[in-house]
Structure 1
């Protein structure tokens, strides 16, 4: 069976790296892995993966540094997996143009559908087209990220699973008579206000 696509997985936690590598391989992806930013960039240049899944806080180069390099020099889409959901981190994720942002801890079974959605969003396997600077995310793209980011904030703040955090966001929306999108935006605004 041919792989669904090639993914570069980068995390300085060897257990997380092994778990992600195994789970994504089982889901049919070809995996390259690195436990630091320098190795990640070398692998990206040599093997041209279709997508990179990056931890944010690592020794040496951060995931943000790696993402910026991949975006600017390899025109490679990337997503983040991090234990942090503070305002500065979320803003940096948006500014870099990540295709997705997941908050740890996560079961690999929760990651596979997000990776599959990311491949759909980037048009399947990346074509070796002429390098082109990615466009900045539109307002609509940023607003569409409000619900997953709000779920991530609730997961982090209350140590909830993704499903329970999403259900909590839904209950808050119903209680306040708002759509889940509006409730997510209010929650993110409150986080921004509290951290300013």
Structure 2
């Protein structure tokens, strides 16, 4: 079952907060996406198997199966790309997000006007990238920070209350000022944030 030709793509949205879920479904539908939704991990996997979305947007902390559990299943069994939306940004959470190979990570609270551009950016990346790219988890010895730009965009969006496009523009300006490629500059930023999160500092 393929998305309609005029759709921006099919996205699976998973959140156990019904109000958040309804807001995401409405906003993404209005933005031109075909949306499949679930309010728990078990239903999320059933919906993913049935509808084969192009991308999944997952809450992390849910009763029963967590967003991490769902993401691992999507990656290993269905080869589907995913991104996270969560109120938690502690060191352990961020480390697991990177290890799972998420395309992006957005920190709540965000309004739909900020979420839509971020989803559009990730969807464009998914659709333009090599078909095999989201299908394989990175080897354990590889750097799990496969998408430093997307993660850095999420950090800047949260810290400065910017849209995804504005956050990306700010990161590009920073990289140009420092004379470094965008991905190198973003990787350094993410690593610096991780260092600041270490206990004892």
TM-score in terms of structure 2 length: 0.75
Count of aligned pairs between the two proteins? 179
Counterparts of 1:1-196 in structure 2, within 5 Å, are: 2-123=6-127, 132-136=135-139, 138=143, 141-145=146-150, 147-148=152-153, 150-151=155-156, 155=159, 161-162=161-162, 181=186, 182=188, 184-191=190-197, 193-194=198-199
What SS is found at the alignment partner of 2:32? coil
Q: Distance in 2 between matches of 1:29 and 1:125?
A: 19
CA 195–116 in structure 1, closer or farther in 2 if over 3 Å, else same: farther
Q: Please list every run of 5 or more consecutive structure 1 residues that lacks an aligned counterpart in the other structure.
A: none
Contact 1:146 1:188 in 2 (8 A): no
| Partner Cα distance (1:105, 1:80) in 2 | 13
Secondary structure at the counterpart of residue 53 of structure 2: coil
- Superposition RMSD in Å: 3.2
Residues 107, 150 of structure 1: alpha-carbon distance in 2 compared, 3 angstrom cutoff = closer
With normalisation by structure 1, the TM-score equals 0.77
Q: What secondary structure does 1:71 align onto?
A: helix
- Alpha-carbon shift at residue 146 of structure 1 (Å): 5.6
Per-residue CA deviation, residues 123-155 of structure 1 (Å, 9 max, x unaligned), is 25997x8x9434357577354356335436x64
Query: What residue ranges of structure 2 are gaps of 5+ in the alignment?
Result: none
